[in-house]
Amino acid sequence: MINAYATARLHDEAEIVFQEMQSHGQVPDSTTYLALIRSYSESRCYSKAEKAIQMMLTSGITPSCPHFSHLIFAFLKADQIDEAQRICSQMQEIGVAVDLACCRAMMRAYLEHGRVDEGISLFETTRGSLKPDSFILSAAFHLYEHSGSEPEAGDVLEAIGLHGASFLRSLKVGSKLEPT
């Protein structure tokens, strides 16, 4: 039921169902929290979504990447990259690895907003744990090239060839920045 309310962006109703569940002695599980976090995130109730993640941790349930991703994606959709980055860091601090979808979303934001150092840092910290796809490799190439790191750009280009990935030439660093 909470999931249905989340889909309809009715976070107040989702919260009522969640509280009624608890008042009847039902203990929320990971899936229940995921629906609640989704409901809050899609309704732009970011602090409530963060509180739900804290409630999970307090109750001994370790959130997975999707729990954090709903909030990260909502922040990115609202162009709140610093907030998305903060949640991504919190996720990693408790030992939850960034998944491919989350990495792609963060890389896209860094690339489009010209945040070169942050994009390179994310690529370097996740490349050992994730198998990067065409987008991530292409974004990393463009970020390295933009920063003047030609040897690293060459290494990424070589990795693109080794993985049989497509190179996405159309990506542009800073494509969402206002022209000056």
Say what the pLDDT of residue 22 is.
87
Neighbours of 80 (CB within 10 A): 16
Residue 180 pLDDT class (50, 70, 90 cuts): low
Report if pTM > 0.85: yes
**With 80 as the cut, is the pLDDT of residue 179 above it?**
no
For the chain, give the percent of residues with pLDDT over 90.
73
Q: Give 11-51 pLDDT, tens digit per residue.
A: 888 888 889 888 899 989 999 999 999 999 999 999 999 99
Q: Give 45-100 pLDDT, tens digit per residue.
A: 999 999 999 999 999 999 999 999 999 999 999 999 999 999 999 999 999 999 99
Say what the pLDDT of residue 48 is.
96
Q: Give 147-167 pLDDT, tens digit per residue.
A: 999 999 999 999 999 888 899
Residue 8 pLDDT class (50, 70, 90 cuts): confident
